[in-house]
Each structure stands twice: as C-alpha cells, then as structure tokens.
Structure 1
Amino acid sequence: MKQSFNCTDCITNESIQVVVEDNLVISKTKTTFETDASLFIGPSLLDLQINGFSGVDFNTFPILQEDFITVIHNLAKEGILSFFPTVITNSDFNIISLLQNINQLCLQSALISSYVSGIHLEGPFISAVKEASGAHSKEYIKAPDWELFEVFQEASGNRIKIITISPEWDNAVEFIEKCVANNIVVSIGHTVASGAQIKAAVDAGASMSTHLGNGAPLSLHRNSNLIFDQLANNNLTPSIIADGYHLPDNFLKIVLAAKNNQVILVSDSTMFAGMNPGVYHSHIGGKVTLEQGGRLSIFDNNKILAGSAVSLLDCINKLYSSALLNLATAWSLASTCPKRMVNVADCSDDFVLFKIVNNMIIIVSVIKSGKQIYTQN
C-alpha cells in the first residue's frame, strides 16, 4: 500500500512530502504541494534519562531481553527512537551486574543496540545529604573514584556517556577532568555543592545539570543557592522533568527564560510509566499509587511523589499545551538538543509524523531507518 503525507516540519516550518510504500519510505522531499494543516513531521526523540518503563526496571537485575524489547516497542510508539537506560546508586557489584547486563543485551540484539545510544550513570558519586540524595541509597554513596569508574565503564562496554555527580567532594574536579578527557558528559545533580564548587566543576568541564529543581534540599537560601548558581552559569545545560508534577509552571518558565531555551527535556521515568492507573509495589518507594495522567505518589502519603511515570512525549505535550513553549522549541528540547549534548547524529531516516488534536500531539506514524514501524490505528 502506498501512502503520501504532505506535512509541515515542526522545527523549520518547511513543507515536506513523505511517500511510504509497503512500510518503506520511498521519498522524503521538500514540496510546494499544499500541506495538511494539522500534520507535522519532526526528528526522532532522545530521552537521556530512563530508569524504567512499561513494568521494566533498569535497576533490577536481571533485565531480560524480551522485557527490554517491550520497552523499545512502547517507547517507539511515542516517537522515542533512542534513549539512555539510567543506572542509579547501588552496590558496586549490582552496578557492575546491571551495566554488564545492558551491554550484553546490546551485543546480542541489533534492535536493542540501535535504540541504546548510551548509558546514564546517576551516582554513586552524589551527595550523601538525604534531602539531596532522595531515593538513592545512602549506604552506597561515595566520593568519586576514577579507578572504580573505569571498572564500571569496562562492564558497560564503554557505553556510559553521561555521569551525574555532586561537585561537593574534595576530588570532584580531578574526576570531572578525567571524565571530560574521555568524552563523558558530566552532569551536576543530587548535590548540596556551594557556588564555588559548582563553578570549579564547570571550569573542569561539567556541562549539564541533572533534573534541575529536583534532587535538592527543600530549604535553600532565598537568593544564593545551588539552583541559582546553576541557572546563572552559561556553560551548564539543565535537564528538566516537565511532567506537570515535579516542577511548577513558574519554575519551568524561569529555567526556560534564564537559559534561553538551552534546556533538555527528560522523562526520568520509572517502571510505572506506560502502566495503567492503580496501586503497585516499588522496591524503592514501597507501596505507590499511579493516577490517571501519570502522577505517582507514596500510597500512605499522596503528597510525596514516588518518581516519574510519564514519557518524554508527555513532557513535550505539557510544555506545548500549557503554552510554555511553541511547538518547534518544545520538540527541539527533546530531539535535537539532547542529541547535540551527547554527540548523537540526527539521522534523517528516523522521524515522526504527528497531528495536533485538541492542543495535544498525537503520533500518526513513526519511521526508523527508513521503515515505518508504527502507525496510528
């Protein structure tokens, strides 16, 4: 069957015609034909921070191949064609096991390898202060250790491309310099670092902030604090969780304005993302409640969030439908911006067709490597 889509590039506003026959893209060219006003084309999405999805936890060993492939298929339906499985603070043995597990899955499956653009190691070199460490187990938090990191990197098959650390440790600068020399993006997060320590980290090569506004103490100085220090530093690109629950709109507006939209959207999703509303058990938060819309909270206290349970597409929709960003910028923060941060090529054969319905993005078709892998029913 042959299909022709006349659509608008959501970033450049150019008119594009896509022709698909038997699920293969025959052509994708600029056109002078009249486009469908509600149909858009955009580059594939990249999520730099996924702890789990669709009932699969990337921090519980073992991760089975069929489960990983289930995650891939469900992410692909939302235009997410590459992502960074995120391994958080744990015992050295468990971190090594999980990294080896992910690497082996990539080596055994070309499909999995094509979706895993890298691994994000979030910890164990973060702050031991409880309000900053959050769900990370204090038992395993430690100072940066380059020799240990090399063991982690070997276990991952050199797939670790982002590491989140706290610069408050005495040897943080030396560790950051070694990471940068080895082409690893250093992101500041889960920290109580001073302004001087944050500046020193950036001077050493740290270039990103992990889920800014979260993983920080509840009580901060009113006009001199670690969030302001990161916002004010022009060499830091913050990632944010724009799920509508982790950050209020006024904070999102401030970050987007202060950084002139040089921001990266991440989902920071847990295994509960993509699941039906209900009561579940989490090995980190215990009994949790997942509400319609993706709000995840502690069962006994629904005022306390138990992590993120939305996808990257949900975050784009939040920013767009709330008029916090226009469509071009919102899509860019989840596609071209993260790809640029981790030096992942933006493949022209990977793209997404979508419509705007009731001010929300609805995926129509997903193309990977020139093949249509999903169409809306």
Structure 2
Amino acid sequence: MAPSLVLAGARVVLPTGIVNDGRVIVEGTRIAGAAPPDARVVDVSGHWLVPGFVDIHNHGGGGASFSGAVDEVLTAVRTHRLHGTTTLVASTVTDDMDFLVKQAGLLSELAEQGDLAGIHFEGPFISPCRKGAHSEDLLRDPDPAEVRKLIDAGRGKARMVTLATELPGGLDSVRLLADHGVIAAVGHTDATYEQTVEAIDAGATVATHLFNAMPALGHRSPGPVAALLEDERVTVELINDGTHLHPAALELAFRHAGARRVAFITDAMDAAGIGDGRYMLGPLEVEVAEGVARLVHGGSIAGSTLTLDRAFQRAVTVDGLPVEDVVAALSANPARLLGMDDRVGSLEPGKDADLVLLDDGFAVKGVMRQGEWVVAPQLP
C-alpha cells in the first residue's frame, strides 16, 4: 500500500466551517484522523480543498449518454470525474418501457461495480404540458405497476423517479416509491399548489430542477414552486449554468429553502465537456450553440452542458454565495439525500477520500476519488 498522504496548507471546507492552513490525511481509500510517521506531506497552500461533488441528475457527457452502451456510460462518468464529480447518479430520458427496463439492467450492473451511485428515471411519467426535451409520443401516466417494473429492473440501484404527480396514478406511485426507499421527485409537472402539497404529503421529497418544466410562481396560483420551496421535507434541484435560472431565482431558492435544502445538479447531456454541435437526447435531436442545448424541432432547452465545477465557480464568483453553502449544495446535501452521507459528501475521517483541489479562482487543479488521483495536481 502506498504511504499515507497529507495534503497540507489549504483552506479546507469542513462541515463545521472553513479551516485556514488545514490538512486532509488520506490513508488508502479513506480519509484518516491521524497521519503515521512515514506519511508523505504535499504542500497545497493557496488552494481550497472541498469534498468530491455529488450529482444526482445527469444524462451524460464527453459525447456519450447514459442511454448508451457500457463504453458510452463509462465515457460520460470519466468526463464528469475530470470536473470533480466523484459520485454520480445516471439519469435516463423518456423512452419506451422495454428500452428503459433493459437500460436499467445495464446501469445497475455498473452501479454494483461502483462506477455509478444509482439510477434516476426522468420520464416517461411526466406531463405532456411540461415535457421539455422529452418525446411526447412516449409519455404515459404513472401507473404504479409500470413504476414498479422500473424499480425491479434497477435491482436495488433505482435512486429516484421524476413524476408529474397530478396525473392519474401519480400519488399511488409516489407512495409506492416511498415504500421501496426510492426518491419520488416532482418534475415536468403541471400541478397546482394544492396538488403538489398532496404529493409531498404522500412522500415526494425532491423538486426536479426547480422552476424549470413547471408552472411559474403566480400571486393567485402559486403552483408547485411555492409548495416545494416552503416544505422542509423537500430538497430542491437547481441548474446553475446562467441559462436555466435568473440569478434572482437562484437567490430566492437559497433564501427560502435554506442552504441545507438545495442540491446543485448538471442535468447534463452528451455535449458536456465537449462543445457545440448536434447531439441526440434519447430519440430527440439537439443543437448546442454557445454552450446552450436546445431541441432542433421546437427549440426547448434540452438539458445542459454544465459540469459541477462550473456550477461551483459561478455560484461563488457570480452569485456571491458563501463557499460553505455551495459545498453543501454540491456535496453534503445530495449525499444525504441518497443516504450515502456515511461515505461521501464531506471531508471527515472514515469517509471515502473523495476530494477536489481548487485554486483561488475556484478552477479545478486536482480530483481524487477513493484515494487515487483522477486529476493529479501540478504543484511546485
């Protein structure tokens, strides 16, 4: 086994706050509480050390999709690891049930191997009124029997299902998901405020990309946004790419939900980490121009090209959020939501040695996953 490693001199973001001139000790695959005498000390002064990022909503990257074959899935995983995401849930898009069942089997095997943290099914149980970049011909009501089919196909690795809970079968499907320990997420929905409250009471605990693909907040019809923001049981996803949300909407979510109830996500598609061009999102063709992905037919925003390091950098340097709050939204909160906070999400002894080294401008300089450098820092 390689000697223990001490990363010393950085500003370390811990659950208790920021420690200046701090240090993190890595022993094997875990963070250790004390360093043995033969530990190798690496000076990382002038940098930030933060926990590895946790993305609970991601469709692909590096030119590859989580709806593809094994090599494509692993390409997407590697792409996001280079940007600091050390724990990743693979999201599918609306397709026919037979394909989704088959893909769930493939993704569950990769989750069993530790490449993925689980599966998120976004569709087909969503509203045609708020379909976004999902094929309307393949949408269906959330029949609990079909929801159960996807859960079973995930072989214990299904983490989340996004539903329009106002549709027939929606509330029963939420209860089914809750009973099986799978997150029910309200999204791509045309629900009223009252219907959303009912869904939360039935067991829904996540807002899929809050504000997007749902009715806007209104003074007479507050809709799902108000219900999801006000309830302490709900974690709200936010896509902080400068396109999906106005800065005031981001501030509203943080101010009202509080830093412990926000999870930054990418909702990334194939183009993340690659660039402009034409891509496929499920069965739909997407044009990416100046980093913004839109359907070729219809023009709806089609996921994002975001990586979580960019979300981090924007949140601090543009939105002016405290670093500790951003770290919570990128790591601790999604880890807790997934029930993985005993292993990931914070830099504490006994947890996986998943960490990101950032420079003063919050650009990635190093990424470590389970004690091994994915991006090795170039230090003097």
Do they fold alike, i.e. is TM over 0.5?
yes
* CA displacement 1:257-316 (0-9 Å, x = unmatched): 01112211000000010003x32243555351332xx33345699x85333001122111
**C-alpha separation between the residues in 1 aligned to 2:239 and 2:90?**
16
Q: Which moved more, 1:135-144 or 1:9-18?
A: 9-18
Partner residue, 1:296: 293
**C-alpha separation between the residues in 2 aligned to 1:281 and 1:26?**
40
Task: Select the residue among 238, 247, 250 that pairs with 1:249.
Answer: 247
Task: Select the residue among 189, 205, 208 that pairs with 1:207.
Answer: 205
Alpha-carbon spacing, 1:258–1:26, altered in 2? closer, same or farther (3 Å): closer
**C-alpha separation between the residues in 2 aligned to 1:300 and 1:142?**
21
- Determine helix, strand or coil for the equivalent of 1:335: helix
**C-alpha separation between the residues in 1 aligned to 2:338 and 2:29?**
29
Task: Select the residue among 78, 86, 92 that pairs with 2:91.
Answer: 86
Partner residue, 2:60: 52
Task: Select the residue among 31, 36, 40 that pairs with 2:48.
Answer: 40
Alpha-carbon spacing, 1:304–1:120, altered in 2? closer, same or farther (3 Å): closer
Partner residue, 2:368: 367
Tell whether the 8 Å contact from 2:70 to 2:106 is kept in structure 1 after alignment.
no
Partner residue, 2:23: 17
Partner residue, 1:118: 118
Tell whether the 8 Å contact from 1:46 to 1:338 is kept in structure 2 after alignment.
yes
**C-alpha separation between the residues in 2 aligned to 1:28 and 1:38?**
23
Partner residue, 1:286: 285
1:116 maps to a residue whose letter is: L
Residue 27 of structure 1, CA deviation: 5.9
Partner residue, 1:127: 127
Tell whether the 8 Å contact from 2:111 to 2:157 is kept in structure 1 after alignment.
no
* CA displacement 1:206-265 (0-9 Å, x = unmatched): 111000011124x66444232223222332221010111111101101111011122110
Mapping of residues 1-377 of structure 1, within 5 Å: 5-6=7-8, 7-11=10-14, 12-14=17-19, 15-18=21-24, 29=34, 38-59=46-67, 63-106=68-111, 113-129=113-129, 132-217=130-215, 221-226=218-223, 227-261=225-259, 262-276=261-275, 278-282=276-280, 286=285, 288-291=287-290, 294-297=291-294, 305-344=301-340, 345-347=342-344, 348-357=351-360, 360-377=361-378
Residue 351 of structure 1, CA deviation: 2.6
Identity among equivalent pairs (%): 21
Q: Report how many aligned residue pairs link the two structures.
A: 357
Alpha-carbon spacing, 1:67–1:304, altered in 2? closer, same or farther (3 Å): closer
Partner residue, 1:110: none
Alpha-carbon spacing, 1:156–1:189, altered in 2? closer, same or farther (3 Å): same
**C-alpha separation between the residues in 2 aligned to 1:136 and 1:27?**
45
Tell whether the 8 Å contact from 2:133 to 2:300 is kept in structure 1 after alignment.
no
**C-alpha separation between the residues in 2 aligned to 1:167 and 1:353?**
37
- Determine helix, strand or coil for the equivalent of 1:229: helix
**C-alpha separation between the residues in 2 aligned to 1:311 and 1:26?**
25
Alpha-carbon spacing, 1:212–1:177, altered in 2? closer, same or farther (3 Å): same
Residue 29 of structure 1, CA deviation: 4.8
- Determine helix, strand or coil for the equivalent of 1:224: coil
Aligned residues: CA RMSD:
2.9
Gaps of 5+ in 2: 36-40, 345-350
**C-alpha separation between the residues in 2 aligned to 1:38 and 1:355?**
9
Residue 196 of structure 1, CA deviation: 1.6
Residue 365 of structure 1, CA deviation: 2.4
Residue 19 of structure 1, CA deviation: 6.0
Tell whether the 8 Å contact from 1:238 to 1:264 is kept in structure 2 after alignment.
yes
**C-alpha separation between the residues in 2 aligned to 1:58 and 1:336?**
24
Alpha-carbon spacing, 1:96–1:210, altered in 2? closer, same or farther (3 Å): same
Residue 114 of structure 1, CA deviation: 1.6
Tell whether the 8 Å contact from 1:39 to 1:354 is kept in structure 2 after alignment.
yes
Residue 328 of structure 1, CA deviation: 1.2
**C-alpha separation between the residues in 2 aligned to 1:68 and 1:371?**
21
**C-alpha separation between the residues in 2 aligned to 1:280 and 1:26?**
42
- Determine helix, strand or coil for the equivalent of 1:305: coil
**C-alpha separation between the residues in 2 aligned to 1:330 and 1:242?**
11
Tell whether the 8 Å contact from 2:127 to 2:189 is kept in structure 1 after alignment.
yes
* CA displacement 1:92-118 (0-9 Å, x = unmatched): 1121121122124445xxxxx323111
